[in-house]
Amino acid sequence: MRRILSFSYYNLPYDLKTCLLYLCIYPEDHEINRDKLIWKWVAEGFVLHGNQGTSLFLLGLNYFNELINRSMIQPIYDPLGQVYACRVHDMVLDLICNLSHEAKFVNVFDGTGNIMSSQSNVRRLSLQNKMEDHQAKPLTNIMSMSRVRSITIFPPAVSIMPALSRFEVLRVLDMSDCNLGESSSLQPNLKGVGHLIHLRYLGLSGTGISKLPAEIGTLQFLEVLDLGYNPELDELPSTLFKLRRLIYLNVRFYKVVPTPGVLQNLTSIEVLRGLLVSLNIIAQELGNLARLRELEIRFKDGSLDLYEGFVKSLCNLHHIESLSISCNSKETSFELMDLLGERWVPPVHLREFVSYIPSQISALRGWIERDPSHLSNLSELILTSVKEVQQEDVEIIGGLLSLRCLAITSTHQTQRLLVIRADGFSCVVYFELDCGSAAQIIFESGALPRAERVEFSLGVRVAKEDGNRGFNLGLQGNLLSLRRGVRIWMYCGGARVGEAKEAEAAVRRALEAHPNHPRIEIYMIPRIAKDAHDDDLCEDEEEN
């Protein structure tokens, strides 16, 4: 087997060999996030430039997929069946670690002994201290620390992190998930980060930081800045927005509001996640970020002027693949989706559309009816506050052939019956439709042939009033790919307690007969008290 692996390795193109060797920085059995790995490859210079204007990340994605195809890495799938991470098989890891050691490509310190102390040409450093030791001292005995190009630190090895001032040519610094917060006694001095003038990648997600030093603006070669999941970080230094080479910026937690006039400087940005934005920023600056592929933002407030400015900017972003929008204001109206439906034409490569603000499906229906090809690659659609879902909407959305994930919540439902047809949603893996107490959802025989997870609502009173006294929803002998569970929100308001119990028993009986024996979750809304009598009326509960 080792001989076969060696043969496979030596037959890889040079750039793929380099990318594979880089995986030595990760501990055994570590789950390696795909996107972070690719951005590190880009920062290290492993991803070779293609045609002018081609995204280096997308080229790196090709490298990643090729390593999977050659069985050099093992893919890890998300609930939609899409690859989001990878793992290196023990035998492959053993092979590349030996090759890396021979080539002096990566040096690993795992706390079992300082194997690098006598080496003078450390290029890439992986700190994996396996034994947490708060008394551990920073590494100081590595010769020529100044030549290190990359350092990745895994908790709790942050305690042996050398001073940043010792690195002169560092391109990658990843301290993700290390405790750097104010409560940490192990907090490295981030103020020295301005010394790292060659830095391309800075990973600080989940570190608990509350402030970023202003000198970060001196890192003119910085391409990736990951600040996600730091809830105490509510401000970015204005100097950061001078970084014209920045490709990726993640400040997810929606607390950071950029200073007006600075966002437009990020002319190379492709991925922008987690910003909290206001009217003056949207209207004047967002439309200048012509290379943007992924945009995830939250509006600080909701107003017609802001929405018009946003839609105008969005019309200039022709490379958008993923769009996620939300709003802090509870007074948000349906205006934004109306404007999007009237004035925006989704680019044909749009893969994800997520809206956490009140919306109407009429906009989506308008895009499809005008030109179905514009949503031909849409694989994920999430609308959490839809005014109403009609049968026509279900059938139009069901015709999106690339759709794998659908999640819709209706807030003002009037149509009492929705039928999931057998000829729709042919590729959907995750299906969620919550129409509250005002409707029942029934599945035709053969519906959702690939759905592995299904979540839906049942209005008990509506089903009873409309003649479905046996609560037959088409679940028995149906949904044949169902294996990751089913969740039902059973709205009992206006029905008798006995009817609600009867509905639960009928649905559970149908699902228990399913050949895949999926996990069953049924939530009664409102909950039925243990001492309630069958003739008692279930009180209505405010939905959503």
Examine the pLDDT at 310 and tell me if it is beyond 90.
Answer: no
With cut-offs at 50, 70 and 90, classify the pLDDT of residue 446. very high
Distances (CA, A) of 338 to 225, 330, 361: 34, 18, 9
Alpha carbon distance 403, 425 (integer Å): 7
Tens-place pLDDT, residues 235-291: 888 888 889 999 999 998 777 777 777 788 888 999 999 888 876 666 568 888 999
Contact 329, 357 (CB under 8 A): no
Q: State the pLDDT confidence band at 544, using cuts at 50, 70 and 90.
A: very low
pLDDT of residue 120: 58
SS3 content of the chain, % helix, strand, coil (to 5): 30, 20, 50
Asked if residue 226 has pLDDT above 50, the reply is yes
Q: What confidence category does residue 184 fall into, taking pLDDT thresholds of 50, 70 and 90?
A: low
pLDDT digits (tens, 9 = 90+) for 198-215: 999 999 999 999 888 889
- Give the whole-angstrom CA distance, residue 182 versus residue 193: 17
pLDDT band at residue 118 under the 50/70/90 scheme: very low
Place of tokens 């279900």: 394
Write down the number of H helices and E strands in the chain. 12, 22
Tokens encoding 491: 């709205």
Tokens (6 digits) for 435: 């129409």
d(CA 463, CA 468): 5
More confident residue, 183 or 149: 149
What is the mean pLDDT of the segment spanning 493-501? 93
pLDDT in tens, 21-30: 999 999 999 9
Q: Which tens digit of pLDDT belongs to each residue from 56-81?
A: 999 999 999 999 999 999 999 998 88
pLDDT over 90 percentage in the chain: 55
Task: Give the model's confidence band at 392: pLDDT under 50 very low, under 70 low, under 90 confident, else very high.
Answer: very high
| Topology given in CATH for the domain delimited by 1-95 | Arc Repressor Mutant, subunit A (1.10.10)
The verdict on whether omega for the bond into residue 162 sits within 30 degrees of 0, i.e. cis, is: no
| Strand partners for 407 | 382, 432
3-state SS track over 176-191: CCCCCCCCCCCCCCHH
Tell me what pLDDT residue 457 has.
96
Residue 139 has pLDDT above 70, yes or no: no
- pTM, entire model: 0.90
Helical ranges in 286-372 per DSSP H: 304-314, 335-343, 361-370
- Spatial neighbors of 272 by CB under 8 A, at least 6 apart, are 249, 266, 289, 292, 294, 295, 296, 297
| Residue 206: closest CA among 271, 253, 273 | 253
The pLDDT-based confidence of 492 (bands split at 50, 70, 90) is very high
Whose structure tokens read 């002169």? 168
Q: Which residue has the higher pLDDT, 4 or 532?
A: 532
1: pLDDT confidence band, cut at 50, 70 and 90?
Answer: low
Tell me the pLDDT band of 117, cut-offs 50, 70 and 90: very low
Q: What is the DSSP letter of 439?
A: -
- 411 — pLDDT class (breaks 50, 70, 90): confident
Answer whether residue 542 shows pLDDT above 50: no
Instruction: List the chain domain ranges.
Output: 1-95, 388-543
Band the pLDDT of 543: cuts 50, 70, 90.
very low
pLDDT band at 304 (very low <50, low <70, confident <90, very high): confident
Q: How far apart, in Å, are the Cα atoms of 269 and each of 112, 237, 292, 435?
A: 41, 17, 6, 38
Q: How confident is the model at residue 122 (pLDDT cuts 50, 70, 90)?
A: confident
Instruction: Say how far apart CA 241 and CA 285 lie, in whole Å.
Output: 12
Cα–Cα dist 367/345, whole Å? 7
SS3 417: strand
Res. 188: pLDDT tops 80: no
Torsion of CA 51, 54, 58, 64, to 10 degrees: 20
Distance in angstroms (rounded) separating the CA atoms of residues 295 and 320: 7
Q: Is the peptide bond before 526 cis (omega within 30 degrees of 0)?
A: yes
**pLDDT-derived band of residue 51, with 50, 70 and 90 as boundaries?**
low
- The β-bridge partners of 409 are 434
- Poorest-confidence range of 163-172, 367-376, 435-444? 367-376
Can you tell me the distance from the alpha carbon of 470 to that of 354, in angstroms, rounded to the nearest whole number? Answer: 36
Of 183-192, 330-339, 442-451, 514-523, give the lowest mean pLDDT range.
183-192
Contacts made by residues 163-170, CB under 8 angstroms, sequence distance 24+: 163/138, 163/188, 163/189, 163/192, 164/188, 164/189, 164/190, 164/192, 164/193, 164/195, 164/196, 165/192, 165/195, 167/195, 167/196, 168/198, 169/198, 170/196, 170/198, 170/199
- Does position 404 have pLDDT exceeding 70, yes or no? yes
pLDDT for position 50: 63
